[in-house]
Structure 1
Amino acid sequence: MAAVTAGLPHAEALRQGVTTTLDAFLEHKARAAVSLGMSPEVAQSLGGFLAAGGKRLRPLICATGWQAGGGRAIPEAVIRTAASLEMFHAFCLIHDDIMDDSDSRRGAPTLHRRLTGLQGSSQRPAAAERTGASCAILIGDVALAWSDELLHTAGLTPRQLGAVLPLVHEMRSEVMYGQYLDVTTAGRPTTDVEQARRIIRYKTAKYTVERPLQIGACLAGASLAVREALSAYALPVGEAFQLRDDLLGVFGAPEVTGKPSLDDLRGGKHTVLVALALQRADAGQRRVLDALLGMDGLGEAGADRIREVLTATGARAEVENMIAALRARALRVLESAPLAPYATAGLRRLTEVATARAR
């Protein structure tokens, strides 16, 4: 595969490079399974999940980090490293959908729901659901293992691999700790905004923006000053990204976001949006939130009542203000960061991509 030119104007070329890498890798895995007398279904199911959409944001951010670290054209080794991040992301999403009991993602059935449907009438509904969830867990596990294989076979030099492995290990631990916090607080939202922000920091900000940026920069041999500037930039952008995601998860149009607008409310997610509403709610508004947040059978009518409270308390507007403040903070970092002008321009565009989105 030829190298692609760095920079967000060429994001589509990078996405295509990552997609081509993933497709070829999974085709090889499917053929290898058949040669061993195994079903190619695992690789094919994972390939279908990866092909269903997605912004390839983490590979794009990794490539932006390569650029910020002094790299220009993106070599195949960096593309394969970026692809390993997308494979890890697939693992996270597959398991997250099971834990959240989500029905759809990217406008299509989640993997565990699709695999449940494939059982047909051969099993009772409850057994089919267990089989579908179990198979999806295993395919997610395979995605985690294969993300590691992609990284170790990317063609990195020993210096590059030694530099990025500690970051990859930290990223994996951080996102799982963040997910653990998310799971253990679901159904029990409180007024604790800082706890909600801590979940964001570990579940999203570090794994979506900071670590991919650092990985790309380390591959390019970036200085400590550059890496520190990238972290100072990345954390507010990552937090703003998740705050936007929380708003879209409640107020977004499913036909645009590709995700249901009820899951977070049914799950009683402990988000900044909900914590702020609980802080500000009067007695009547608090009764609505206490009665409806986390309700299994919550429908659109109940969700609309919650949305009214989230808006009336000013929580929705305050989250928008927080996003704007975090975006401004990240852009201020870029004003004095020791980066080449083309790298700064790419990070400015990345800020808009991450924080001002509709899906």
Structure 2
Amino acid sequence: MARIDAALAASMDQFRQVTGQSARETTDLVTAAARLTEAGGKRIRPQLFYWGFRAGGEPDSDGVIELAVAIELFHVFALVHDDLMDRADTRRGVPTAHKQLATLHRERAWDGDADHFGLSAGILLGDALMVWADRVVNANPLPEDRRERFRLAYDDMRLELISGQYLDIVSGHSGDSSMSAALRLARLKSGNYSISHPLRLGAIAGGVGQDTIRAFEEFGAALGEAFQMHDDVLGVFGSAAEVGKPVGEDIRQGKRTTLIAATLARATRASTDRLLELAGDPGLSESDVDEARRIIESSGALEEVRAMLRERVRAARRTLASMTLDQRVRQALHDLIGVVARHY
């Protein structure tokens, strides 16, 4: 973890230098991104990549750490664009990148609309982060027999995340509030790219055999869904310190999460009508969010989702226990289960 943090900080410094060569002003973008990376993050994705790589018996190297950093850089790209789409104000307890850039506009007393400037600059920052992640990947070539397969899997991850983000937008407008739709969204938008893909990419990079990769995919599918369910629960019933942004934003944004799907399937007609009336209103007061919480909890949906989450954590643990792995790899992945879904 410390090595990944140090390599990420060094990569951001290099990113700033390279972008500044084209135009000094573009270092503003990197400064906004660096503030997000310095604010924290569990580094789940690069850790999964690293231990997937080590499962093949390959020795540790600076190159594998650099590739793990590329996975985290792609994640930062996703956060920046996700915050734009959600019109979010905070991330990891600090202002989102586009809000930082809007503030910069105001502090410099520039002409025009500061908020629109922030949104526009945020789009460019996300694009630049994706390019920089590519550059890091290209600077750390794998053995020839793994290179093309890794690149295809890496592109698959990126395209699937974009599909998941679009599905997230669609879900807020299509009216599909079924559990199957919520689980599909959980897999495509978050679970796969957070768990399955980083682990699989690391395994491909490390020359891991197909049987182990298939088992990793099974492990990742279960843990990925648990990851998103845990996020769904924290987004409504957690604390701002835990989620790094105001709690209740999923309700205000009308997200069709597993909690909402379970509530709509369980609650009375009057309760579901009221929940749908509340969901999607960005101006909801804290008392309105509390009312939504009471509807969700009284329907039994919270406990249902927690039970689903526990079952997926158990499935991930069973798969991990069945695999033939180096003890360090097994222990690291076991520990990451606890990071992904604490208290379950």
Amino acid at match of 2:215: A
Choose from 38, 44, 50 the match for 2:31: 44
User: Which structure 2 residue ranges, 5 or more long, are not aligned?
Assistant: none
**Alpha-carbon contact 1:236-1:327 (below 8 Å) kept:** yes
Tell me the CA shift for residue 37 of structure 1.
4.6
**Alpha-carbon contact 2:141-2:147 (below 8 Å) kept:** no
Query: Is 1:339 matched with 2:325?
Result: yes
Other-structure match for 1:266: 252
Tell me the CA shift for residue 31 of structure 1.
2.7
Stretch deviating more after TM superposition (181-190 or 224-233): 181-190
Query: Is 1:288 matched with 2:288?
Result: no
Amino acid at match of 1:333: T
**Alpha-carbon contact 2:32-2:100 (below 8 Å) kept:** no
Cα 1:34–1:243 change in 2 (3 A) is closer
Give 1:146-295 correspondences, 5 Å limit. 146-186=132-172, 190-295=176-281
Amino acid at match of 1:69: G
Query: Is 1:92 matched with 2:107?
Result: no
Q: TM-score, normalised by structure 2?
A: 0.94
**Alpha-carbon contact 1:267-1:295 (below 8 Å) kept:** yes
Query: Is 1:64 matched with 2:41?
Result: no
Tell me the CA shift for residue 257 of structure 1.
2.2
Amino acid at match of 2:47: L
User: Which structure 1 residue ranges, 5 or more long, are not aligned?
Assistant: 1-14
Amino acid at match of 1:50: T
Give the 3-state SS of the residue equivalent to 2:29 in structure 1.
Answer: helix
Give the 3-state SS of the residue equivalent to 1:278 in structure 2.
Answer: helix
Other-structure match for 1:326: 312
Distance 2:23 2:78 in 1: 29
Give 1:96-111 correspondences, 5 Å limit. 96-111=82-97
Distance 1:277 1:59 in 2: 34
Distance 1:88 1:240 in 2: 21
Choose from 121, 130, 140 the match for 2:126: 140
**Deviation digits for residues 302-341 of structure 1 (CA, Å, limit 9, x no counterpart):** 0000000110000000111001100111111123223234
Aligned residues: 341
Tell me the CA shift for residue 118 of structure 1.
1.4
Tell me the CA shift for residue 281 of structure 1.
1.1
Give the 3-state SS of the residue equivalent to 1:74 in structure 2.
Answer: coil
Q: TM-score, normalised by structure 1?
A: 0.90
Stretch deviating more after TM superposition (16-25 or 261-270): 16-25
**Alpha-carbon contact 1:189-1:274 (below 8 Å) kept:** no
Other-structure match for 1:5: none
**Identity within the alignment, %:** 32
Stretch deviating more after TM superposition (95-104 or 253-262): 253-262
Give the 3-state SS of the residue equivalent to 1:261 in structure 2.
Answer: coil
Distance 1:143 1:303 in 2: 34
Other-structure match for 2:110: 122
Cα 1:292–1:211 change in 2 (3 A) is same
**Deviation digits for residues 82-137 of structure 1 (CA, Å, limit 9, x no counterpart):** 0000000011000000100111111111111111111114345xx21111000011
Other-structure match for 1:3: none
